[in-house]
Protein backbone atom coordinates (compact mmCIF):
# COMPACT_ATOMS: atom_id res chain seq x y z
CA UNK A 1 0.00 0.00 0.00
CA UNK A 2 1.26 3.46 -0.83
CA UNK A 3 -0.11 6.94 -1.16
CA UNK A 4 1.12 10.29 -2.45
CA UNK A 5 1.55 13.47 -0.47
CA UNK A 6 2.27 16.93 -1.74
CA UNK A 7 3.32 20.27 -0.27
CA UNK A 8 4.30 23.63 -1.74
CA UNK A 9 6.91 26.20 -0.74
CA UNK A 10 7.75 29.66 -2.07
CA UNK A 11 10.17 28.00 -4.53
CA UNK A 12 8.24 24.88 -5.48
CA UNK A 13 4.56 24.92 -6.50
CA UNK A 14 4.31 21.20 -5.86
CA UNK A 15 6.82 18.95 -4.16
CA UNK A 16 5.54 15.43 -3.87
CA UNK A 17 6.50 12.11 -2.38
CA UNK A 18 5.09 8.62 -2.17
CA UNK A 19 4.78 7.00 1.23
CA UNK A 20 5.10 3.23 1.62
CA UNK A 21 4.70 1.18 4.79
CA UNK A 22 2.74 3.90 6.54
CA UNK A 23 2.63 3.57 10.32
CA UNK A 24 5.92 1.70 10.71
CA UNK A 25 7.88 3.19 13.58
CA UNK A 26 11.10 4.07 11.76
CA UNK A 27 10.94 6.46 8.80
CA UNK A 28 13.47 6.31 5.98
CA UNK A 29 13.63 8.99 3.28
CA UNK A 30 15.04 7.80 -0.07
CA UNK A 31 16.19 10.75 -2.20
CA UNK A 32 17.01 10.06 -5.83
CA UNK A 33 19.95 11.51 -7.75
CA UNK A 34 20.42 13.22 -11.11
CA UNK A 35 18.77 12.92 -13.63
CA UNK A 36 16.48 10.31 -12.03
CA UNK A 37 13.12 10.38 -10.26
CA UNK A 38 11.63 8.35 -7.41
CA UNK A 39 11.32 5.26 -9.66
CA UNK A 40 15.07 4.84 -9.16
CA UNK A 41 14.24 3.06 -5.87
CA UNK A 42 11.84 0.55 -7.48
CA UNK A 43 13.90 -2.51 -6.50
CA UNK A 44 14.68 -1.44 -2.95
CA UNK A 45 11.21 -0.25 -1.91
CA UNK A 46 9.57 -3.72 -1.76
CA UNK A 47 12.50 -5.01 0.31
CA UNK A 48 12.17 -2.32 2.99
CA UNK A 49 8.51 -1.26 3.06
CA UNK A 50 7.35 -4.05 5.36
CA UNK A 51 9.58 -2.87 8.14
CA UNK A 52 9.99 0.85 7.53
CA UNK A 53 7.86 3.82 6.61
CA UNK A 54 9.49 4.98 3.38
CA UNK A 55 9.16 8.53 2.10
CA UNK A 56 10.27 8.71 -1.51
CA UNK A 57 10.20 12.21 -3.03
CA UNK A 58 10.30 13.35 -6.62
CA UNK A 59 12.58 16.38 -6.81
CA UNK A 60 11.23 19.45 -8.69
CA UNK A 61 10.61 18.93 -12.38
CA UNK A 62 10.69 15.12 -12.33
CA UNK A 63 8.07 12.45 -11.59
CA UNK A 64 5.05 14.01 -9.90
CA UNK A 65 6.73 17.24 -8.77
CA UNK A 66 6.31 20.31 -10.92
CA UNK A 67 9.17 22.41 -12.12
CA UNK A 68 10.49 25.19 -9.87
CA UNK A 69 9.47 28.78 -10.57
CA UNK A 70 13.14 29.83 -10.67
CA UNK A 71 16.61 28.56 -9.89
CA UNK A 72 16.94 26.81 -6.58
CA UNK A 73 19.58 25.64 -4.14
CA UNK A 74 20.18 22.47 -2.15
CA UNK A 75 18.95 24.47 0.87
CA UNK A 76 15.64 25.15 -0.92
CA UNK A 77 15.26 21.41 -1.56
CA UNK A 78 16.08 20.64 2.07
CA UNK A 79 13.46 23.14 3.22
CA UNK A 80 10.82 21.51 1.01
CA UNK A 81 11.67 18.11 2.49
CA UNK A 82 11.38 19.54 5.99
CA UNK A 83 7.93 21.00 5.22
CA UNK A 84 6.84 17.66 3.75
CA UNK A 85 8.07 15.60 6.72
CA UNK A 86 6.55 18.00 9.25
CA UNK A 87 3.23 17.79 7.42
CA UNK A 88 3.42 14.02 7.98
CA UNK A 89 4.30 14.50 11.67
CA UNK A 90 7.68 12.87 11.10
CA UNK A 91 10.08 14.42 13.61
CA UNK A 92 13.12 12.29 12.89
CA UNK A 93 14.09 10.06 9.99
CA UNK A 94 16.94 8.22 8.36
CA UNK A 95 17.87 10.41 5.39
CA UNK A 96 19.34 8.39 2.53
CA UNK A 97 20.49 10.21 -0.59
CA UNK A 98 21.84 8.89 -3.85
CA UNK A 99 24.57 11.09 -5.33
CA UNK A 100 22.83 14.48 -5.89
CA UNK A 101 20.22 13.25 -3.40
CA UNK A 102 23.11 12.97 -0.92
CA UNK A 103 24.09 16.60 -1.60
CA UNK A 104 20.51 17.52 -0.71
CA UNK A 105 20.62 15.23 2.35
CA UNK A 106 23.75 17.11 3.51
CA UNK A 107 21.91 20.42 3.21
CA UNK A 108 19.02 18.92 5.21
CA UNK A 109 21.37 17.58 7.90
CA UNK A 110 23.03 21.00 8.12
CA UNK A 111 19.75 22.89 8.52
CA UNK A 112 17.78 20.36 10.60
CA UNK A 113 20.30 18.17 12.51
CA UNK A 114 17.75 17.40 15.22
CA UNK A 115 15.51 15.76 12.60
CA UNK A 116 18.20 13.30 11.42
CA UNK A 117 18.25 9.81 12.93
CA UNK A 118 21.01 8.74 10.55
CA UNK A 119 22.49 9.93 7.26
CA UNK A 120 23.12 7.44 4.44
CA UNK A 121 25.34 8.73 1.64
CA UNK A 122 24.92 6.38 -1.33
CA UNK A 123 27.53 7.02 -4.03
CA UNK A 124 27.67 10.57 -2.71
CA UNK A 125 30.04 13.07 -1.17
CA UNK A 126 30.06 15.95 1.30
CA UNK A 127 32.70 17.77 -0.74
CA UNK A 128 31.86 20.74 -2.93
CA UNK A 129 32.61 20.61 -6.66
CA UNK A 130 36.25 21.34 -7.53
CA UNK A 131 37.22 23.68 -10.40
CA UNK A 132 37.41 20.87 -12.95
CA UNK A 133 33.97 19.56 -12.02
CA UNK A 134 32.48 23.07 -12.26
CA UNK A 135 34.09 23.53 -15.68
CA UNK A 136 32.63 20.23 -16.91
CA UNK A 137 29.18 21.03 -15.54
CA UNK A 138 29.24 24.43 -17.26
CA UNK A 139 30.19 22.74 -20.55
CA UNK A 140 27.27 20.33 -20.10
CA UNK A 141 24.87 23.20 -19.35
CA UNK A 142 25.97 24.95 -22.52
CA UNK A 143 25.48 21.73 -24.55
CA UNK A 144 22.01 21.21 -23.05
CA UNK A 145 21.04 24.83 -23.74
CA UNK A 146 22.09 24.44 -27.37
CA UNK A 147 19.65 21.55 -27.83
CA UNK A 148 22.08 18.78 -26.91
CA UNK A 149 20.08 17.29 -24.03
CA UNK A 150 19.71 13.86 -25.62
CA UNK A 151 23.41 13.71 -26.53
CA UNK A 152 24.28 14.65 -22.93
CA UNK A 153 22.09 11.87 -21.50
CA UNK A 154 23.35 9.29 -24.00
CA UNK A 155 26.95 10.14 -23.13
CA UNK A 156 26.55 10.06 -19.34
CA UNK A 157 24.17 7.18 -18.71
CA UNK A 158 26.16 4.02 -19.60
CA UNK A 159 29.08 5.04 -17.34
CA UNK A 160 26.80 4.96 -14.30
CA UNK A 161 26.65 1.13 -14.51
CA UNK A 162 29.28 -1.62 -14.56
CA UNK A 163 29.93 -3.21 -17.97
CA UNK A 164 28.69 -6.51 -16.61
CA UNK A 165 25.38 -4.98 -15.48
CA UNK A 166 24.93 -3.20 -18.81
CA UNK A 167 25.30 -6.48 -20.64
CA UNK A 168 23.06 -8.51 -18.34
CA UNK A 169 20.32 -5.93 -17.73
CA UNK A 170 19.81 -3.83 -20.86
CA UNK A 171 16.15 -3.37 -19.82
CA UNK A 172 17.19 -1.41 -16.71
CA UNK A 173 19.32 0.92 -18.82
CA UNK A 174 16.44 1.35 -21.24
CA UNK A 175 14.15 2.33 -18.37
CA UNK A 176 16.66 4.79 -16.88
CA UNK A 177 17.40 6.25 -20.32
CA UNK A 178 13.76 6.86 -21.21
CA UNK A 179 13.08 8.41 -17.80
CA UNK A 180 16.16 10.68 -18.11
CA UNK A 181 15.25 11.70 -21.67
CA UNK A 182 11.83 12.80 -20.42
CA UNK A 183 13.35 15.45 -18.11
CA UNK A 184 13.12 19.01 -19.48
CA UNK A 185 16.42 20.76 -20.35
CA UNK A 186 15.73 23.61 -17.89
CA UNK A 187 15.29 21.07 -15.08
CA UNK A 188 18.65 19.46 -15.86
CA UNK A 189 20.41 22.83 -15.89
CA UNK A 190 18.70 23.94 -12.66
CA UNK A 191 19.97 20.78 -10.93
CA UNK A 192 23.48 21.31 -12.31
CA UNK A 193 23.50 24.94 -11.10
CA UNK A 194 22.32 23.83 -7.64
CA UNK A 195 25.18 21.29 -7.57
CA UNK A 196 27.75 23.88 -8.69
CA UNK A 197 26.61 26.30 -5.99
CA UNK A 198 26.42 23.88 -3.08
CA UNK A 199 28.85 24.53 -0.21
CA UNK A 200 31.36 22.04 1.15
CA UNK A 201 29.64 19.94 3.80
CA UNK A 202 32.61 18.41 5.60
CA UNK A 203 31.98 20.53 8.70
CA UNK A 204 28.46 19.14 8.84
CA UNK A 205 30.05 15.68 9.20
CA UNK A 206 32.48 16.88 11.88
CA UNK A 207 29.61 18.10 14.06
CA UNK A 208 27.18 15.26 13.28
CA UNK A 209 25.67 13.61 16.34
CA UNK A 210 23.95 10.93 14.22
CA UNK A 211 25.57 7.87 12.57
CA UNK A 212 26.61 7.85 8.92
CA UNK A 213 26.44 5.10 6.31
CA UNK A 214 28.70 5.35 3.27
CA UNK A 215 27.91 3.13 0.29
CA UNK A 216 30.31 3.25 -2.63
CA UNK A 217 30.82 1.28 -5.81
CA UNK A 218 34.30 -0.08 -6.49
CA UNK A 219 33.81 0.87 -10.15
CA UNK A 220 32.14 4.25 -9.64
CA UNK A 221 33.80 6.79 -11.96
CA UNK A 222 31.94 9.74 -10.36
CA UNK A 223 32.49 9.15 -6.63
CA UNK A 224 35.29 6.56 -6.46
CA UNK A 225 36.03 4.75 -3.16
CA UNK A 226 39.16 6.89 -2.58
CA UNK A 227 37.01 10.02 -2.46
CA UNK A 228 34.56 8.39 -0.05
CA UNK A 229 37.37 7.14 2.19
CA UNK A 230 38.64 10.70 2.66
CA UNK A 231 35.38 11.48 4.43
CA UNK A 232 34.57 8.37 6.40
CA UNK A 233 36.39 9.36 9.57
CA UNK A 234 34.95 12.87 9.85
CA UNK A 235 31.76 11.83 11.63
CA UNK A 236 31.85 9.98 14.95
CA UNK A 237 30.09 6.73 13.86
CA UNK A 238 30.64 5.61 10.27
CA UNK A 239 29.55 2.45 8.51
CA UNK A 240 31.40 1.96 5.22
CA UNK A 241 30.35 -0.48 2.50
CA UNK A 242 32.29 -0.91 -0.74
CA UNK A 243 30.39 -2.89 -3.38
CA UNK A 244 32.62 -4.78 -5.80
CA UNK A 245 29.80 -5.31 -8.29
CA UNK A 246 28.67 -1.74 -8.52
CA UNK A 247 29.51 1.49 -10.28
CA UNK A 248 27.19 4.41 -9.40
CA UNK A 249 23.80 2.67 -9.17
CA UNK A 250 23.72 0.20 -6.26
CA UNK A 251 19.93 0.48 -5.98
CA UNK A 252 19.68 -1.18 -9.41
CA UNK A 253 22.98 -3.07 -9.56
CA UNK A 254 22.79 -4.73 -6.12
CA UNK A 255 19.44 -3.85 -4.53
CA UNK A 256 19.42 -6.84 -2.15
CA UNK A 257 22.70 -5.87 -0.56
CA UNK A 258 21.75 -2.19 -0.38
CA UNK A 259 18.45 -3.06 1.31
CA UNK A 260 20.27 -5.24 3.87
CA UNK A 261 22.79 -2.48 4.59
CA UNK A 262 20.08 0.17 4.92
CA UNK A 263 18.12 -2.18 7.20
CA UNK A 264 21.12 -2.79 9.50
CA UNK A 265 21.94 0.89 9.56
CA UNK A 266 18.37 1.99 10.32
CA UNK A 267 18.05 -0.63 13.08
CA UNK A 268 21.32 0.53 14.62
CA UNK A 269 20.30 4.21 14.51
CA UNK A 270 16.94 3.42 16.06
CA UNK A 271 18.43 1.23 18.81
CA UNK A 272 21.03 3.90 19.57
CA UNK A 273 18.38 6.57 19.92
CA UNK A 274 16.16 4.33 22.05
CA UNK A 275 19.09 3.50 24.36
CA UNK A 276 19.92 7.21 24.61
CA UNK A 277 16.34 8.14 25.48
CA UNK A 278 16.03 5.47 28.18
CA UNK A 279 19.47 6.18 29.73
C1 LIG B 1 24.02 12.02 -9.64
O2 LIG B 1 24.11 10.82 -9.90
O3 LIG B 1 23.14 12.46 -8.88
C4 LIG B 1 24.97 13.00 -10.29
O5 LIG B 1 25.75 12.37 -11.23
C6 LIG B 1 25.82 13.68 -9.26
C7 LIG B 1 26.86 14.59 -9.81
O8 LIG B 1 26.89 14.88 -11.02
O9 LIG B 1 27.68 15.08 -9.01
Res. 278: pLDDT tops 80: no
Average pLDDT over residues 3-27: 96
Please list, in sequence order, all residues whose beta carbon lies within 8 angstroms of the beta carbon of residue 64, skipping any fewer than 6 positions away: 4, 6, 14, 16, 38, 58
Euclidean distance between CA atoms 269 and 279, whole angstroms: 15
Query: Which of 34, 96, 200 to mutate to test ligand 1, by most ligand atoms within 8 A of the CB atom?
Result: 34
The length of the chain in residues reads 279
For residue 99 and ligand 1, the question of a CB distance below 6 A is answered with yes
Nearest atom within ligand 1 for CA of residue 129? 9
Q: What is the pLDDT of residue 272?
A: 86
Q: Give the pLDDT band (50/70/90) at residue 68.
A: confident
Q: Please write the tens of the pLDDT for every residue from 21-48.
A: 998 999 999 999 999 999 999 999 999 9
Q: Is the pTM of this model over 0.85?
A: yes
**Pairwise pLDDT comparison (23 vs 181), residue with the higher score:** 181
Average pLDDT over residues 72-97: 98
- Ligand 1 midpoint to CA 160 (Å): 9
Amino acid sequence: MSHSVQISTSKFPSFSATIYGEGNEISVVLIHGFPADSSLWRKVIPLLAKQYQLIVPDLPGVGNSSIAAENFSMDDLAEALSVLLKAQQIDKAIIAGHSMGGYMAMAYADAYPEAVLGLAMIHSSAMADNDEKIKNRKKAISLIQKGGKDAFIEAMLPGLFTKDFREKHPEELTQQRSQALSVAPEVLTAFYNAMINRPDGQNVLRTASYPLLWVCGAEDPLIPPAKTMQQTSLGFVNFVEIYNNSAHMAMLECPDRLAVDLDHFASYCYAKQTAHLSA
